[in-house]
Amino acid sequence: MTEAPRASREPALSTRPLLVSRAARIVRSGMVRRRLATARGYPPLVATAIADGSRGPSTPPVFVLSAGWRSGSTALQRLIISGGAAYIWGEPYPTSRLLPRLQRIAVEVGVVDGQPDRVLYGRDLSAEMSHAWVATTNPPAEAVMAGIRAMLQETYWAPLRETGFSSWGAKEVVATPEQIQLLHQVFPEAHFVCLVRNPTSAYRSFRRFVVSGVTTRPGSATRLRWVKGPVRYAENWVRMARAFRSFGDDPRFHLLRHEDIVGDPGFAERLGRLLDMRLSPTAWATQVGGTEKTMPGALERAELAVLARLCRDEAAAWGYRV
């Protein structure tokens, strides 16, 4: 008589360990999300990424940052280009949100870098890793930060490499303090020209003139999307103006008020000294574009009142009465 097969002695999969494991994963996931939400700094950038100038520009990049639209940033852009040293790209790729996406990557890299079991350096890597758990391994944070620097530099410098320009730059009118900090982190040698204008004057010009970019909705790829409203404008103005002041002690941040430089024939020379460039006074004296000055209607006066209330404290810090 044949013996009946024995039941397996392997323990059955218990629901308790599975639930405990899932709970632990949920807790860890919550901790990571909280760290992402509160992260402020970025991982260090390896010095070799900065020192390697074999294909990089010969002079530092220049970032023109304006607290919102219609504040004179385009005039500054043209003035710096006139020196022939740096070409300043104008608000590049606004709808793709290139800078915000890179800033998000930098924040996430800093969080993941705090989990050493997930980060591998060159000394850790070998063929024997084929026998290890490699499903969730990451390069070190400084390598990603160097990659962010390389991407921005290659994007904006490569088209200029065969021209007469020796460097590059970009103009931004919408940026958070964290995005400005990222640019400063990955390009510590760069100059930052930061511009503000009385928010009520800037908004009066903005509300009838400026478009933000091209909508990305299907079937409307060439349609312009008009931007209106005092609340969003004020929020951006306050955020950027406050960020500029926070960097005010850094010698590579040059803080300017539109009212102090417009119409000043000596400004081109002064800015040139700050940037170590020779800039053209003619370019600064040339006006391109503008808006018609009209008496504000009832709706505009109401919008300006909202704007003034939201901007009052920060405007006062810059010497404006709104």
Looking at residue 209, its pLDDT comes to: 58
Position 24 in a domain: no
Q: What is the pLDDT of residues 187-201, one digit of tens each?
A: 999 999 999 999 999
**Beta partners for residue 255, in sequence order:** 194
Domain that holds residue 161: 39-124+134-317
**Residue closest to 199 by CA, chosen among 228, 241, 171:** 241
**Both structure tokens of 30:** 């919550």
Long-range (24+ apart) CB contacts under 8 A made by 228-235 are 229/303, 230/203, 230/303, 230/304, 230/306, 230/307, 230/310, 231/306, 231/310, 233/68, 233/69, 233/199, 233/203, 233/206, 233/307, 234/199, 234/203, 234/306, 234/307, 234/310, 234/311, 235/310
CATH number (domain holding residue 70)? 3.40.50
Position 299 in a domain: yes
Q: Which one is predicted more confidently, 55 or 16?
A: 55
Position 14 in a domain: no
**Both structure tokens of 302:** 């109401």
Helix (H, G, I), strand (E, B) or coil at 253: strand
Query: Could you identify the residue written with the tokens 């081109």?
Result: 268
* Domains identified in the chain, total number: 1
Assess whether pLDDT exceeds 50 at residue 8.
no
Average pLDDT over residues 85-92: 93
% pLDDT > 90, the chain: 48
Burial status of residue 146 (CB atoms within 10 A of its CB: 0-12, 13-18, 19 or more): buried
Assess whether pLDDT exceeds 80 at residue 279.
yes
Alpha carbons within 13 angstroms on the beta-carbon side of residue 182 total 27
